[in-house]
Structure 1
C-alpha cells in the first residue's frame, strides 16, 4: 500500500510542477513564444540528434523568434534573416556576449580564445593580431606561396591514388591541407603527413573549411551536369588539368556559385557560436532576460522558402546573376556570421576553398567508391561543432 501511495504522490508532484511551469511561462507575456517546458529538463527532449532541424521545425509553429528552456537555461532561437539582422547588426553590441559551454571552461581554455572571450580589451588585442598579422590582405598575399605548395601536395596525393586506383577520403585530405598551411604559418612545419592517415588540431581553422569542401564535392558528384559545367569553366579560364591560382578566383563565376550554394545548404556552424545577453534586452517587442543564450539558426535561414526558391534543391545557378554576399552584408547568407563577431578567418576561407575545390575538379575526373551511383550517395548530416557528413566522402580520382 505504501508503494502505491508513493507512486501516486510522485505523479501528483510532477503534474503539479509541470502545471506550475506552464503557468509561469504563460505569465511572462514578454518572453518570445515557445513550447512549454517540462520540469527540470525544460525542452531538451525536443532537440534530438539534429537540433538545427528540430529547432527549424519548431520555428514553423512558434515563429522566427522563439524561446525554450534547455535545462535551466533560457534560450532564444532566431530563424529568419530579418530578425538576425536586428540581432547581429542593429543590436550587435548588446548581443555580442558569449555563452560558453561547460566543456570549453575546462582548464580555462575559453579565457584565451578570441572565439569565446567576451568583448573586452584582451579580445580586441587578439582580434587585432589576427586581422593584422594573419588574415590581412597583405599577409595573405605574402604567404600565398605556402598555400600553393600545400595544394600542390594535395594534387600529388590525388595523383598517387589515381595511379593505384585507390579511394581517398575527401574530408581527411582537405583537413591535412588546411592544417599544414596553418601550421606552416605559425610553426614553419607540417603537422600532418599528407601521405599518411594521421589527423581534430586547430579545429576552428580547419574543420569548417574541411566540411565545406566535402559537402561541395558531394553535391557536385550527385549532379554530373554541375561537375561538367564547372570543369568546362575551369578549362576555359585556367587551362585543362592545371592547378587553380588565387588570381583566377574572381574569373571563376560558376565555381563561386557552387561554393555559395554549398554554404547556403550546409553552413559549417549551423547556429554560429552561441551568444549571451548580460542584461535584459528588448527585441521585436519581446524581452530577452539577462543571462539568456541566443542561437541564430543559419541552417534554417539558408532554407527559408519565403526567400529561396526550391530551397532543398542544390542549384548553383540561383547565384548566377545575384550579388548576394557572404561577408555579412546580406543576412540571407551568413555562414561566417556578421558584425564584430564575424569569423576572423573569412578572408582565408574565401581564398582556400575555391582554390582547393577548383584544383580538384580541374585535375581529375571523379567517381564514388564501390561503384556507388550519384543518386545513391548518402547525404546524412552529423551534428557537432561543425555540420559534417555522417559518412565520409570517399572517391576515386582518374586522369582527365
Structure 2
C-alpha cells in the first residue's frame, strides 16, 4: 500500500483543522519553551505531515535528515516524532538510554488486532513484556526449538523445488512461491499438521496485514478518537479481529482436545503456550487472548518479512551473475563434501551468509524500525526529547550511509569478509533486526529458513530472466507497506542443474 496523496486526506484534514482550532482557542497559552531537534517548516494543525505524502517514508525521511541533520523532529498532528539517522544516535537510543526508549506507542490497528497490544512487538515495556520476551528466547524461538522445525523447512523446501521442476521451463513466479513457502512454514510451526482452520486463518491474516500497512492519519490525532469511526477504519479492524479470533479459538480447541487425548506427536508453538499457561510456570499469567496475540505476532513478523528477503536476495543475484556463480559454487561444493541438508539446515556456507547480510543491508524489510516511546523527558545531543515522543530509527538510511559503508549503494557481499557483523544489532551501523531490548527475537528462525531455501534454489537450478532480458534490465522498484516489497513480482526461468 502506498501512502495517500494530499488530495485523498484533504477533507479529513479540514475537519480536524476546525476541531483543533476550537480546542486551541479554549486552551490557555503557556510560556514554557524547550529546544527541540531541527525541523522542516510546518503547516498549522497538521504540522509536518505533508512532508511524508506521496512517496516512500524511509526515502523521504533520509532526504529530510540530509538537510536538517541526523536528529530530526517532526510534528505529525498531535505527535512529536523524532527521526534517528546515524549509528551514533541509534546506539544512544538502543544502548545508552535503551530502557528509556524501550516501550511502544499505542496504535489503533495494533490495539484492536493484537488484543489490546498484548503481543511481543507492540506491548509496552514492563513485567508482562519481559515475560513474553523470556518465553520467546527460552521456549518458542530458542536455537533448540528452531532446530526441531528442521523437518518442516526441509519438506517445504522440497515442495518448492518440486513445484519449480513441474513448471518445465516456463516462467516461475518466485514472489508468489516465497510467500506461500513462508506462510506454510510458520503455520506448521505454530499449529502443527492437524489444524483444519489453517487456510481460513491465512486468508484473514492477509486482510489484517493490509490494514496494518502504510500510513494511518488516525494515529496522529490520539485525542480525536472519533476519526477512526469516521473513516470506517475501526469497524474494518474489528471485523477482521472477530474473524481471526473465531478461527484461533477453534484452533485452540482442537489443540486442547488433542492434548487431552494424548495423541499429539511433538509440540507445536500453540501446544507450548497452552502448556506454559496451564501449568503455572510463568511469573505473569497468560490469558487465552495473550496467547492469541503472540500467535498473531509470529505471522506478522515471520511471513512477509522472510519472503521479501528471499525475493530481494534472488533479485540481487540475478542482477549480479558473478556473485550468483560464486555462491552457487559454494553451495554445490558443500553438497559434494557430504553436506546433504537432511535436517533442513546448512552449515559452512559463509559466502551465502554474506549474501543474505548484504541483502538485508540494502533491502531491510522493515526500513523504519518499529517506533519506540520516550518514557521520560531526556536530553540528546543538546536537544530535548519530550516524554511521549515517538522515536523512529531509519535503519535503511543508516545501512546506506557512505560514512559507514564504502560503495554504500552497491551490492557487494564481500564487504562482510572485511568487517565482522552479526544480525543481533550489536554494531549500530548494521541493524536489520533492530537492537537493544527490543531487538527481534526471531532472528535465528528467520535466517535459518532463508539460508536453507536459498541454498536449495541455487543448488538445484540455474536462473535467468525470461525473454532474453539482460541482468541489468531487472526492475528493482519497491512498494512500501507492512514491509518493503518488490513492486512487481519476480519472474524467472529456472533450468535444472545437471
TM (normalized to structure 2)?
A: 0.70
Q: Decide whether the 8 Å contact of 1:235 with 1:241 is kept in 2.
A: no
The match for 2:136 among 130, 138, 143 is: 130
Q: Decide whether the 8 Å contact of 2:151 with 2:343 is kept in 1.
A: no
Q: Distance in 1 between matches of 2:88 and 2:417?
A: 24
Which runs of no fewer than 5 residues in structure 2 stay unpaired?
A: 1-16, 22-28, 210-298
For structure 1, which segment, 242-251 or 44-53, has the greater mean C-alpha deviation from structure 2 after superposition? Answer: 242-251
Summarize deviations over 1:328-370 as a string: whole Å, max 9, x none: 2111111101111111111111211111111111110112234
Establish whether residue 177 from structure 1 lines up as the match of residue 274 from structure 2. Answer: no
Establish whether residue 31 from structure 1 lines up as the match of residue 36 from structure 2. Answer: yes
Q: Decide whether the 8 Å contact of 1:152 with 1:243 is kept in 2.
A: no
Match of 2:310 in 1: 213
Establish whether residue 93 from structure 1 lines up as the match of residue 99 from structure 2. Answer: yes
Match of 1:58 in 2: 64
Alignment of 1:1-400 (within 5 A): 28=33, 30-47=35-52, 48-106=54-112, 109-161=115-167, 163=168, 165-189=169-193, 191=198, 200=206, 202-239=299-336, 244=341, 249-400=346-497
Q: Distance in 2 between matches of 1:323 and 1:126?
A: 30
Q: Distance in 2 between matches of 1:396 and 1:100?
A: 45
What secondary structure sits across from 2:432 in the alignment? Answer: coil
Q: Distance in 1 between matches of 2:352 and 2:478?
A: 23
What secondary structure sits across from 1:267 in the alignment? Answer: coil
**Structure 1 position 128, deviation (Å):** 2.1
Match of 1:7 in 2: none
Q: Distance in 2 between matches of 1:323 and 1:148?
A: 29
- Of structures 1 and 2, the one with the larger relative CO (CA 8 A, separation 6+) is 2
Q: Distance in 2 between matches of 1:240 and 1:155?
A: 21
What secondary structure sits across from 2:75 in the alignment? Answer: strand
**Structure 1 position 125, deviation (Å):** 2.4
Q: Decide whether the 8 Å contact of 2:151 with 2:344 is kept in 1.
A: no
**Structure 1 position 122, deviation (Å):** 2.3
For structure 1, which segment, 294-303 or 66-75, has the greater mean C-alpha deviation from structure 2 after superposition? Answer: 66-75
Summarize deviations over 1:142-175 as a string: whole Å, max 9, x none: 22222211111111111112x2x23222222122
Q: Decide whether the 8 Å contact of 2:47 with 2:77 is kept in 1.
A: yes
Q: Decide whether the 8 Å contact of 1:241 with 1:362 is kept in 2.
A: no
For structure 1, which segment, 72-81 or 125-134, has the greater mean C-alpha deviation from structure 2 after superposition? Answer: 125-134
Which runs of no fewer than 5 residues in structure 1 stay unpaired?
A: 1-12, 18-23
Q: Distance in 2 between matches of 1:388 and 1:306?
A: 26
**Structure 1 position 102, deviation (Å):** 2.5
What secondary structure sits across from 1:97 in the alignment? Answer: coil
**Structure 1 position 108, deviation (Å):** 5.7
For structure 1, which segment, 355-364 or 101-110, has the greater mean C-alpha deviation from structure 2 after superposition? Answer: 101-110
**Structure 1 position 34, deviation (Å):** 1.4
Match of 2:227 in 1: none
For structure 1, which segment, 112-121 or 240-249, has the greater mean C-alpha deviation from structure 2 after superposition? Answer: 240-249
What secondary structure sits across from 1:251 in the alignment? Answer: coil
Q: Decide whether the 8 Å contact of 1:243 with 1:358 is kept in 2.
A: no
Q: Decide whether the 8 Å contact of 1:242 with 1:359 is kept in 2.
A: no
Q: Distance in 2 between matches of 1:246 and 1:73?
A: 49
**Structure 1 position 239, deviation (Å):** 3.2
Q: Cα–Cα, structure 1 residues 104 and 248, in superposed 2: closer, same or farther, change >3 Å?
A: closer
Q: Cα–Cα, structure 1 residues 332 and 250, in superposed 2: closer, same or farther, change >3 Å?
A: farther
What secondary structure sits across from 1:94 in the alignment? Answer: helix
Q: Distance in 2 between matches of 1:301 and 1:310?
A: 14
**Structure 1 position 119, deviation (Å):** 1.4
For structure 1, which segment, 271-280 or 235-244, has the greater mean C-alpha deviation from structure 2 after superposition? Answer: 235-244
Match of 1:20 in 2: none
